[in-house]
Amino acid sequence: MTRNVGGIDRIARIVVGLALLSLIVLMDGAARWWGLIGLVPLATGLMSYCPAYSIFGIDTCARKGGRT
């Protein structure tokens, strides 16, 4: 599994994931469980790997040595 999520993208995913997970505490009723969708961006941010990026050939990781 090669990293394909880098820098700012990774930080944004973690922040959005945590914000969505906070809905579990802040919302009432059945709507609160929509906050679980925050697990996806949080996990991809922490692992620096996004399966959807692999499918579409996207890579936001900076590479050393000028390679892309």
pLDDT digits (tens, 9 = 90+) for 10-50: 999 999 999 999 999 999 998 899 999 999 999 999 999 99
pLDDT at 1 (0 to 100): 83
What Å distances lie between residue 12 and 6, 23, 66, CA to CA? 10, 17, 25
Q: What is the CA radius of gyration of the chain?
A: 14
pLDDT at 65 (0 to 100): 54
- Give the pTM: 0.84
What Å distances lie between residue 33 and 42, 48, 61, CA to CA? 16, 25, 32
pLDDT band at 64 (very low <50, low <70, confident <90, very high): low
